[in-house]
Amino acid sequence: MTVFGVDAVPSAGAGELVVGAKDIVTPLARELARERGITIVVASAGPPSIPATANQSPPPAPAAVAPMFARPSSNGSHTAPPPLEPPAPALYRRGAPLHPAVAPAALHQPRIPRPELTSAAKSVGRVVVVGAGHVGMITAMKLAEANIIAEVVLVDIAEGLAAGIALDLTHSTALLGFGTTIRGVTSLAEAGPADYVVITAGRARQPGMSRTDLVEVNAGIVGALAREAAAISPQTVLLVVTNPLDEMTHHAWQASGLPAERVIGMAGVLDSSRFQALAGLAADSPASTVNALALGSHGDEMVIPLSQARVAGTAITQALPNAQVTALVDRARNSGAEIVGLLKSGSAFFAPGASAARMVLAMATDSDQILPATVRARGQYGITDGYVGLPARLGRNGLREIVEMPLTPDELTAVRTAATRISERVADLERVTAAS
């Protein structure tokens, strides 16, 4: 027995590759032979040779060679099957050109939407996630899995990236049991009007880089996206995920011209989740039993009011030693940098993506839920103006109200200090963007 691979095809003579009855021809070799017009034939071995005698007829001639997998025609002859259309997917490897029949353009032909996928059957018609990197991908996945949104659209300027991820996510619909339509496009215009636009696009942090190092480059990206999103979807809610988050949220609000109630930053949900996970591990209790909110900035001025924090109903300062609690707050504050250092390339994405989806879903379901969010204060907590992380009640149209919690004097001072620092960085950003 001989195995014929692709190397055997180019050497085939007279347009035929002759193989034995017990030989094996690999699928890739068959496809290459079809592409080059080479017929694969199986030579019949025939019966053992018997010498002829005077009274005997010569042995019958070997059966005619027939094409491999040939089908008999009406006259008894054999015809080779037609080539596969499109060619077998096994031929395609990462980076290889696609056959037109399986190219992205062929996968996005107009189709009649199923009734369960229409906006009438879902809480929200369309959510657009800008940026098909890791954070955007996880955000889109969690939104689609919720099965309350008619369509989730990923947008990325990298040709094919958003479409590829969208198709990959679509392939999981049967596995995960959701009916959300998922698309991937290269522009907001192609995505169409949306109820919510999540901005994750921007440069990611590298080891040793602070969030503020990203200000100038990401301001250009976020500002342009916010303006375009508002023009296409005047009633949309913008959720900003791009770092440095506090400054980018303020910048998106100014660039978009949307009401401040409809421009919100994600950070507080993420920082709270990080602290809950770490505190749960330290207290040997599920993270779901830890109640705590991260306020202030998404960075050095993050504030976790410990007077309000609980572990399984017990004040966290009673459940754990004070020194350990302080260490947990510091670690939560620096968790993003810790992950960047461990990954070596790139930054956190699963928890940020899940946090962004959590906020959109809270708004989409009109849950009236209180979540920490980067919002524009107007006198609450003694902060006269500016974006800062505060407890917020979210609804279908974004921010419903800022909820004032009873903070200790030190906690209140820390939140106000965070607001001041953010305002200073926003002023620096405005000077930079004005000069550019």
For tokens 């990236």, the residue is 161
Q: What is the pTM of this model?
A: 0.74
Tell me, what's the pLDDT at 96?
54
pLDDT of 345 reads 84
Chain-centre distance for alpha carbon 365: 21
pLDDT of residue 50: 46
78 is an active site residue: no
Residue 433, pLDDT score = 76
Tell me how crowded residue 60 is: count the other CB atoms within 10 A of its CB: 8
> What is the per-residue pLDDT for 212?
60
pLDDT for 136: 97
User: pLDDT at position 45, please?
Assistant: 54
Find all residues with CB under 8 Å of 16, minimum gap 6, and list them: 38, 39, 40, 41
**Residuewise pLDDT in 10s, the chain (436 residues):** 788 887 787 777 778 888 887 788 887 778 778 778 888 888 765 554 444 444 555 545 444 444 444 444 555 554 554 554 555 555 555 555 555 555 555 444 434 344 343 444 577 899 999 999 999 999 999 999 999 999 999 999 999 999 999 999 999 999 999 999 999 999 999 999 999 999 999 886 666 666 566 688 899 999 999 999 999 999 999 999 999 999 999 999 999 999 999 999 999 999 999 999 999 999 999 999 999 999 999 989 999 999 999 999 999 999 999 999 999 999 999 999 999 899 988 889 999 999 999 999 999 999 888 999 999 999 999 999 999 999 999 999 999 999 999 999 999 999 999 999 999 999 988 887 777 6
HEC secondary structure over the chain: CCEECHHHCCCCCCCEEEEECCCEECHHHHHHHHHCCCEEEEECCCCCCCCCCCCCCCCCCCCCCEECCCEECCCCCEECCCCCCCCCHHHCCCCCCCCHHHCHHHHHCCCCCCHHHCHHHCCEEEEEEECCCHHHHHHHHHHHHHCCEEEEEEECCCCCHHHHHHHHHHCCHHHHCCCCEEEEECCHHHHCCCCEEEECCCCCCCCCCCHHHHHHHHHHHHHHHHHHHHHHCCCCEEEECCCCHHHHHHHHHHHHCCCHHHEEECHHHHHHHHHHHHHHHHHCCCHHHEECCCEECCCCCEECCCCCCEECCEEHHHHCCHHHHHHHHHHHHCHHHHHHHHHCCCCCCHHHHHHHHHHHHHHHCCCCCEEEEEEECCCHHHCCCCEEEEEEEEECCEEEEECCCCCCHHHHHHHHHHHHHHHHHHHHHHHHHHHC
